Structure 1
């Protein structure tokens, strides 16, 4: 199964002219039927649903397309999620999705520079990265420049630490921005791609220098030096190590590590993984996309054995984790499953993680 991993910031700029894919529900399938709003999946299941069915006024599915260079999602501390599509028009809309399934327009920003990412600040404020700097977007007034005291190139904000500092990736480096000052946390300048997430404890997880696997993740706990992520274990039903999976996208898992959408090198299987401390829990497993025709919006399937194609992004929202964003290969419904804290029964693969926090 081919995937587009988040590429270099320059590639984000070059992708402006790309067509944005649409999410549509597949036909067929079985299981319990869902009607309106966000589904309420039972533990151990995934519920397929039509993202655009939440509110016909907004093209939410387009905003979480299969083009990572143009699609951006984040979850806020106040319990909402936000999505933005850099190629959706002028001005660019940021949509807000609540845990009850209500969709609204949070803010609009002028497309004088292509947005490179967004992250939620405290009190419902967003930071948006664009070439040269950051914007502060509060949803009530005109977006303003976020002071940093630093000249960024292609900044990608990825999350906020408990002390209020914003973590930003730029040119293969990890930066902390607070009170108008910028501090280097890790990395060497280059033109490689990067991804990352910041959990509620303030620990940052970053893929730098074009790295691609879970084993390549750099861990940066607050006040401690960076170290490599070490999770030992194997995937269900085989001998493949979890650490060797290719990462597609990362998202913070509250105060407890991160979620990763990831897949095998040969493209035969995809997984939603929850990494926390020394454990890597497989929350859902997905097979080859040629079976996706049996995955239908409005139905539920076993999380560890379902016919659905895994969407690109993990988006935590209240007591659910949403999987959103069309794949390269086929149109697919969005999926919802219970967050681990809400009682999901996981298949766990555990090991030791020296120095891991």
Structure 2
């Protein structure tokens, strides 16, 4: 089977991919032989070879989340899930304007849809509107209110996107230049990006935001050294970053940031890359640790070890490094997907 990669962080394609190949998930190194990864290992959870898997996790996913019991959700063309049986299930074909994906403790999901924030049930169907109303919203750059009833508010962005849920069940949302917290039917403004920080329209992607217990992290300039921590009082400051990180070549502050996500407390995980290597770093309390390391892949063929059900070394990753990153505090694991032919699950606690 021939693999072709388009660009450094581009899409992986297969020649002659057939959907019958896709779900060798219960076989192909899997089935009853699947073993749970330990810290320091990554489980190749899924190959995205085949239409169904690619439609859920291909290119840069519009949503990626880990729910209870390591249930993994991906959203690209379709909304899909991979459960304990390691089999892929399509919950919703053609997501039709859904953006962002957050898994709640009760097993439901939250997504952005048509200017609103909506709840999806376990089958991926909309069950409630949590925030947002139809109509003309806040104009670009206009100051947002400090708090407002959620269901009557007109978001500035036609695509408000949830990006995290905190331990108190509040959902964090990005709405162009504003970061909101949604809880108990109320939207509370956590931060509004100053207009002076950008030369044009500000629209923050969920890949640039991570939620902590008391902190929100913003990677507006997309380098490690430019990530800012936003406190409960709405003030922002540069994150504390060591001058060197064991296992990282060169100045860590110059690494390019692909994706960030919270660690369930007040730290964050960062998917970052330099000239020759890619890393997943854990940053907390001014310290940094390499969780995953992979060399830039220059081959058109993946390593034969990267098959569903196989365990590989996280710090000597033979598989192409996926792009998007999600963390589940309940399972203590990271999931990586997008712009690579695999979905990986990595325990970190």
Query: Does TM, scored on the shorter chain, surpass 0.5?
Result: yes
CA distance in 2, matches of 1:64, 1:110: 13
Whether contact under 8 Å (1:322, 1:335) holds in the other structure is: yes
CA distance in 1, matches of 2:83, 2:192: 35
CA distance in 2, matches of 1:336, 1:46: 6
Relative to 1, partners in 2 of residues 1:167 and 1:125: Cα closer, same or farther, differing over 3 Å? same
Deviation at 1:110, TM superposition (A): 6.2
Relative to 1, partners in 2 of residues 1:41 and 1:77: Cα closer, same or farther, differing over 3 Å? closer
CA distance in 2, matches of 1:231, 1:96: 35
CA distance in 1, matches of 2:69, 2:36: 20
Relative to 1, partners in 2 of residues 1:108 and 1:237: Cα closer, same or farther, differing over 3 Å? closer
CA distance in 2, matches of 1:307, 1:107: 32
CA distance in 2, matches of 1:99, 1:214: 35
Deviation at 1:263, TM superposition (A): 0.6
Partner of 1:172: 177
Partner of 2:56: 63
Deviation at 1:108, TM superposition (A): 6.5
For residues 12-46 of structure 1, what are the alpha-carbon distances to aligned partners after superposition, in whole Å with 9 as ceiling and x for unaligned?
A: xxxxxxxx865899xxxxxxx94337653344344
Correspondence list, 1:1-357, <5 A: 2-3=8-9, 34-36=29-31, 39-48=35-44, 50-51=46-47, 59-66=52-59, 68=60, 71-76=62-67, 79-85=70-76, 88=77, 93-98=78-83, 101-106=86-91, 111=96, 114-139=97-122, 142-147=126-131, 148=150, 149-152=152-155, 153=157, 154-188=159-193, 190-194=201-205, 195-199=208-212, 201-208=213-220, 211-222=221-232, 225-236=235-246, 240-255=250-265, 257-264=267-274, 266=275, 268-291=276-299, 293=301, 295-296=303-304, 297-298=306-307, 299-316=310-327, 318-327=331-340, 332-337=341-346, 339-341=347-349
Q: Which runs of 5+ in 2 are unaligned?
A: 1-6, 18-27, 132-149, 196-200
CA distance in 2, matches of 1:83, 1:126: 11
Deviation at 1:145, TM superposition (A): 2.0
Q: Which runs of 5+ in 1 are unaligned?
A: 5-19, 26-32, 342-357
Task: Please report the TM-score for the alignment, with normalisation by the length of structure 2.
Answer: 0.71
For residues 288-314 of structure 1, what are the alpha-carbon distances to aligned partners after superposition, in whole Å with 9 as ceiling and x for unaligned?
A: 211573512235443333433201122
* Count of matched residue positions in the alignment of Structure 1 and Structure 2: 296
Relative to 1, partners in 2 of residues 1:233 and 1:291: Cα closer, same or farther, differing over 3 Å? farther
